[in-house]
Amino acid sequence: MSDQIPLWGDSATDNPAAARVVQLRKELERHNYLYYVLDEPAISDAEYDRLFRELEGLEREHPELVTPDSPTQRVGAQPATEFGAVRHRVPMLSLGNAFGHEEFVEFDGRVKRVLGLEADVDIEYVCELKIDGLSISLTYVDGVLVTGATRGNGVEGEDITSNVRTIRAVPLHL
């Protein structure tokens, strides 16, 4: 999070609004971390919302204090609609699935062929339900989020960095 908020004087005390914005951002980021990463909220949702609304109000009154890493810019931000390409350093492979006994038997046959096993050899499998979602690759340089990309075709995905920055649970800094 940036503390580089323009100030009118030599110190934050010369601009109480800027000082409060810095304080609110730090507090909200701390509570985001506690809630989304540690799953240990320290304040009620109502108190969080009060702090968030206070920050929104200050930024509305002082637009020169708005920065891209403000919590207000992450939540409800308009997603980008045009995406550039990102080549993955390591391919992002997909998990396989089977939707019935027949598909599982086909999968078992492929595994045995790849491993060079006879068809009658028993293999022990561990299975779990597949939950649909979106896979993303996050790249941090010196602890700062620089790229978020979709899986795409596994070799190349779409650059969704600006969208990823709107997700509270994704840290902008490590």
Question: d(Cα 90, Cα 46) in Å, to the nearest integer?
Answer: 42
Report pLDDT for 145. 92
Q: How many domains does the chain have?
A: 3
Instruction: Provide the pLDDT for residue 95.
Output: 66
Considering the domain boundaries, does residue 110 fall inside one? yes
For residue 114, give Cα distances in angstroms to 36, 39, 99, 122, 157: 41, 42, 21, 15, 28
Please say whether the beta carbons of 93 and 35 come within 8 A: no
Fill in the DSSP letter of residue 68.
T
- The low-confidence residues of the chain, meaning pLDDT below 50, are 1-2, 5-11, 75-80
DSSP result, 70-88:
SHHHHSSPPPPS---EEE-
Instruction: Specify whether 146 is located in the same domain as 89.
Output: yes
Same domain, 70 and 138: no
What tokens does 25 get? 């951002």
Query: What would the 3-class secondary structure string for 99-145 be?
Result: CCHHHHHHHHHHHHHHHCCCCCCCCCCCCCCCCCCCCEEEEEECCEE
Same domain, 113 and 143: no
Residue pair 157/92 in contact by the 8 Å Cβ criterion: yes
Q: Is residue 7 part of a domain?
A: no
| Residue numbers of the domain that contains 156 | 80-94+131-174
Confirm whether 5 is domain-assigned: no
Of the residues 26, 50, 113, 130, only one is catalytic, namely 130
- Domain co-membership, 107 together with 138: no
The answer to whether 88 and 157 have CB atoms below 8 angstroms apart is: yes
If asked whether residues 84 and 142 sit together in one domain, one would say yes
* Residue 66 shares a structural domain with residue 27: yes
Q: Are residues 57 and 121 in the same domain?
A: no
130 is known as an active-site residue: yes
Give me the residues paired with residue 90 across strands.
Answer: none
DSSP 8-state secondary structure symbol assigned to residue 77: P
User: Do both 70 and 153 map to the same domain?
Assistant: no
Residues 141 and 115 in one domain: no
84 shares its domain with 170 = yes
Rounded to an integer, what distance in angstroms lies between the CA atom of residue 21 and that of residue 7?
A: 11
Asked if the structure places residue 6 within a domain, the reply is no
Distance between first and last Cα of the chain: 11
Asked whether residue 33 falls in the same domain as residue 113, the answer is no
Q: Tokens in use for 85? A: 């390409």
pLDDT of residue 169: 87
Same structural domain, 22 and 56 = yes
- Domain assignment present for residue 168? The answer is yes
Residue 136 inside a domain? The answer is yes
On whether residue 2 sits in a domain, the answer given is no
